[in-house]
Structure 1
Amino acid sequence: EVRRKYKLGNEVELRQDEDVLDTWFSSGLWTFSTLGWPEQTDFLKTFHPTDVLVTGFDIIFFWVARMIMLSTHLTGQIPFKTVYVHGLVRDGQGQKMSKSKGNVLDPLDIVDGITLDELLEKRTSGMMQPKLAEKIAKQTRAEFPEGIASYGTDALRFTFCSLASTGRDIKFDMGRVEGYRNFCNKLWNAANFVFENTEGKDTGVDDAPVEFSSVDRWIISALQRTEAEVTRQLENFRFDLAAQALYEFVWDEYCAWYLELIKPLLWDESASAERQRGTRRTLVRVLETALRLAHPFMPFITEEIWQRVAPLAGKSGPTLMLQPWPEYNPERLDEAAEGDIEWVKAFMLGVRQIRGEMNISMAKRIDVLLGNATASDQRRLAENEPLLRKLAKLESVRVLAAGEEAPLCATALVGDLQVLVPMAGLIDKDAELARLDKEIGRLDGEVKRVGGKLANAGFVDKAPAEVIDKERAKLAEAEQAKANLLAQRERIASL
């Protein structure tokens, strides 16, 4: 082939360099040569074949196939049972990271942080093409004007797990790392709240009787579903979906709702000892279980918190790493409690929606009427009225009698249930209409400006597609916001 390609005659001697070992042949031996093969060592017997290989799709043929072929031929064993193929990590513009492009991100710089000057030095020194240094420096200053902040290991690990969709290249976004650093902070702050309300108090580690509220039963039930989902997705190598399930439980259910819903009970001096003990026990045990679920994703912060929460939850041991993985228990599911608390959440969100739309301060207590209430709605109201009064800042709440007409009200729906807030005396109608008119005018100007730009053939023909898409999205958002405010103005004008 060489002779044909280069038109060489037989008089030219060709020989292979004796000093070169093919890289892929060498690495193809890796699964067994590193364990002492051809000797039948204890390491080889214990660790070959292994279970899972993790690799990028770009070297399946070069490496994975060769490991399978060489191991099968030389040992008679397939070297691994499962190959997990992930995408490549690319920069924020979707370009493959390379030193020549100056777009490489060192994970340690994201963990520890790096100044702009240090980053410039790192990206432009020792280049094979020094003439590109100025261009790379300009791009770096534009992308990281203040260098890179310190985000910590856990935030970076969680980011990569959340981005690990099957086979897809990962366009790395520093904003995602910042978001998951906020998640770490949320977990830390939630743990501090737990410690403030449980340390030095009875958390039900002995055999004293406990009573669980519907809020406690709901979060325990939600935890079971989260345990099942995280485990299922990890077993299927869907680290992104496992991370999403964990994130939604910790942030949306435990932190955003459970910690708020239990405050009235924890701080109610008239509550029974059994009920408060049940809530404190749930508070620490759900947190401890969530830490075990989160440990593979974010090992450092979970270990730190677990060391302090473990004794409160009746757990012992030197480290979280040696604790058993949480197991789904269907007997702890409570669909009735889930339904009741979802109703409470929807009720409170409806009241918040009205407050937001009508610009009613949270400091002002309001009256609420319920229309079209079923027997189930009335039961849920009776069981949760003290909680709703406290957290939704209600002056009163009652069900409209049959045939009773409601006054002029702002309305939100919880299924078929009408949550009605009488407007009399709550807002300065003229001032609110003036405020809305001003905001509608601003949005109208934005719609005309962006719409005019998109109607300009010169702009549409010359602008990049992503710029045009961004302008169209901006126009749609302004039009929707304007429509919402016009509907709100109409409701207030009718009061």
Structure 2
Amino acid sequence: MRMLHPFMPFVTEEIWQKLPHEGPSITVAEWPQIRPDLHDEQASEEMKRLVSIIKSVRNIRAEVDTPMSKQIKLLIKTENQAIAEELKGERNYLERFCNPDELVIDTTVDVPEKAMSAVVTGAELFLPLEGLIDFDKEINRLNKELEKWTKEVERVQKKLANANFVNKAPEAVVNEEKQKEKDYLEKQSKVKARIQELQN
């Protein structure tokens, strides 16, 4: 409240007056003091893990073009029983922010062959692809994407192979093209790996 007061003086003053306080106004109130005794390292680590899981699931959804509105099967495996119990206690958050129709949290999990995965501190996540995507449709889409990145790689490599361009263009421009080549090759490699994964 004290920190917000310079930006929202009337609102914060009104709220402050209705809360237990000392002094006539928030304007002259002391700044809050840090309370190291209230810091909970374990709670902080647990929250970081929860946020990492939610982010990872959303990243996988984006990668396979699956909207949040579509329910998924989410498997969470951890070798630490304490972490398993911790995550079970956070089931409500996982269900709300990951939208699974089935959520499995355990130290032993049967992982299907075709599944997207991610690793967070203390746990592994798996999203089975069966029923999540149309494999043929996804492979066709990825082949088109592969064709796009292959053309970009060929274009930039042809440009960099041109001695006239490399010798006369500003160094910054040449470096930019080299960075493009690196980025395009990385994207091309990832798409190839994804196609291979789906075909197998």
Answer yes or no: is 1:312 the counterpart of 2:15. yes
**Which residue in 2 is equivalent to 1:395?**
101
Q: Distance in 2 between matches of 1:359 and 1:344?
A: 23
Q: Distance in 1 between matches of 2:84 and 2:14?
A: 41
C-alpha contact 2:78 2:84 (8 A) present in aligned 1: no
Amino acid at match of 2:111: A
Q: How does 1:35-46 map to 2 (within 5 A)?
A: none
C-alpha contact 1:353 1:412 (8 A) present in aligned 2: no
Q: Distance in 2 between matches of 1:392 and 1:290?
A: 33
**Which residue in 1 is equivalent to 2:50?**
344
Answer yes or no: is 1:429 the counterpart of 2:131. no
Shift of 1:306: 4.3
Task: Render the CA deviation track for 1:177-226: whole Å, top value 9, x for unaligned.
Answer: xxxxxxxxxxxxxxxxxxxxxxxxxxxxxxxxxxxxxxxxxxxxxxxxxx
Residue in structure 1 matching 2:193, options 487, 491, 495: 487
Structure with higher Rg: it is: 1
Task: Render the CA deviation track for 1:7-50: whole Å, top value 9, x for unaligned.
Answer: xxxxxxxxxxxxxxxxxxxxxxxxxxxxxxxxxxxxxxxxxxxx
Answer yes or no: is 1:477 the counterpart of 2:183. yes
Q: Distance in 1 between matches of 2:197 and 2:86?
A: 29
Q: Distance in 2 between matches of 1:339 and 1:367?
A: 25
Q: How does 1:154-169 map to 2 (within 5 A)?
A: none
Q: CA 1:484 to 1:305, structure 2 compared with 1: closer, same or farther past 3 Å?
A: farther
Shift of 1:361: 1.6
Q: Distance in 1 between matches of 2:180 and 2:154?
A: 12
Task: Render the CA deviation track for 1:147-196: whole Å, top value 9, x for unaligned.
Answer: xxxxxxxxxxxxxxxxxxxxxxxxxxxxxxxxxxxxxxxxxxxxxxxxxx
Q: CA 1:340 to 1:361, structure 2 compared with 1: closer, same or farther past 3 Å?
A: same
Instruction: Calculate the TM-score normalised by the size of structure 2.
Output: 0.86
Q: How does 1:309-388 map to 2 (within 5 A)?
A: 309-313=12-16, 314=19, 317=25, 319=27, 322=28, 324-388=30-94
Amino acid at match of 1:359: D
Shift of 1:289: 5.2
Answer yes or no: is 1:405 the counterpart of 2:113. no
Shift of 1:437: 0.8
Q: CA 1:330 to 1:345, structure 2 compared with 1: closer, same or farther past 3 Å?
A: same
Q: Distance in 1 between matches of 2:178 and 2:106?
A: 45
Residues matched between the structures, number = 194
Q: Distance in 2 between matches of 1:482 and 1:410?
A: 19
**Which residue in 1 is equivalent to 2:167?**
461
Question: Which structure features the higher share of strand residues?
Answer: 2
The answer to which structure, 1 or 2, has the higher relative contact order (CA under 8 A, 6+ apart) is: 2
Q: Distance in 1 between matches of 2:137 and 2:32?
A: 55
2:6 alignment partner, SS class: helix
Q: How does 1:176-195 map to 2 (within 5 A)?
A: none
Q: CA 1:345 to 1:434, structure 2 compared with 1: closer, same or farther past 3 Å?
A: same
- State the percentage of identical aligned residues: 26
Q: CA 1:424 to 1:458, structure 2 compared with 1: closer, same or farther past 3 Å?
A: same
Which runs of 5 or more structure 2 residues have no equivalent in the other structure? Answer: none
Q: Distance in 2 between matches of 1:290 and 1:441?
A: 53
Q: CA 1:401 to 1:465, structure 2 compared with 1: closer, same or farther past 3 Å?
A: closer
Shift of 1:343: 0.8
Residue in structure 2 matching 1:451, options 152, 157, 161: 157
Q: How does 1:46-445 map to 2 (within 5 A)?
A: 288=1, 290-291=3-4, 303-313=6-16, 314=19, 317=25, 319=27, 322=28, 324-400=30-106, 402=108, 405-408=110-113, 409-445=115-151
Q: Distance in 2 between matches of 1:332 and 1:442?
A: 54
Q: CA RMSD in A?
A: 2.2
C-alpha contact 2:117 2:125 (8 A) present in aligned 1: yes
1:425 alignment partner, SS class: coil
